[in-house]
Amino acid sequence: MVHVPKEKRKKWDKKAKKMFLVGYSESIKGYRLYDPEARDVITARDVVVMENTDDSSATTITIDESRPPKEAEEEHDSVSEEQDTSDNPMDETFIPNESSNDTDDSYCDTLSPDDLDVLPTQM
C-alpha cells in the first residue's frame, strides 16, 4: 500500500493505493512499485508492505521432477567433493611455529597488590 499525499487527493479519496513491489530504486531512496491501474512503475518512500495477504491473482507453479531426489543428492555430494579436493596454492593450512616462546601467560598482565595504586576514599 502506497500513501497518497494530501495534495494529490480530494476530500473523499482513499489515502492509500494498492501497488506491487518491484524492487528498490538505485538512484534515490525508496521502493519501486508497479501501479496496475495506470500501468506505470513509480518510486515511493511511504510504503507499507503487506507480505501475508490472500491474493486471488497469485499463481502456483508445480515442478515435475524427472528423477528421484536421492540421485540428485548423490550427484550434488560428488560435485562438492571434487571442489574440496582441488589444489589451490592460496588455500594453505596455517601451522604454528613450535619454537615460539609464547604461552598463555604472555597474553595477560598480572599485578601484585604492591603494584596497585589505591586512592584513599573520602568520607
30: left (phi over 0), alpha (psi -120 to 50) or beta: left
Query: For residue range 9-56, what is the model confidence (pLDDT) as tens digits?
Result: 899 988 888 888 888 888 889 999 998 888 889 898 888 888 776 666
What pTM did the predictor assign?
Answer: 0.40
**Predicted local distance difference test score (pLDDT) of residue 86:** 57
CA dihedral 77, 78, 80, 86 (to 10 degrees): 160
Work out the pLDDT band at 1, boundaries 50, 70, 90: confident
Q: Which residue has the cell 604472555?
A: 106
Work out the pLDDT band at 5, boundaries 50, 70, 90: confident
Average pLDDT in the 58-77 region? Answer: 59
**Predicted local distance difference test score (pLDDT) of residue 7:** 92
Helix (H), strand (E) at residue 71: helix 69-84
Query: Do residues 26 and 73 make contact, with C-beta atoms less than 8 angstroms apart?
Result: no
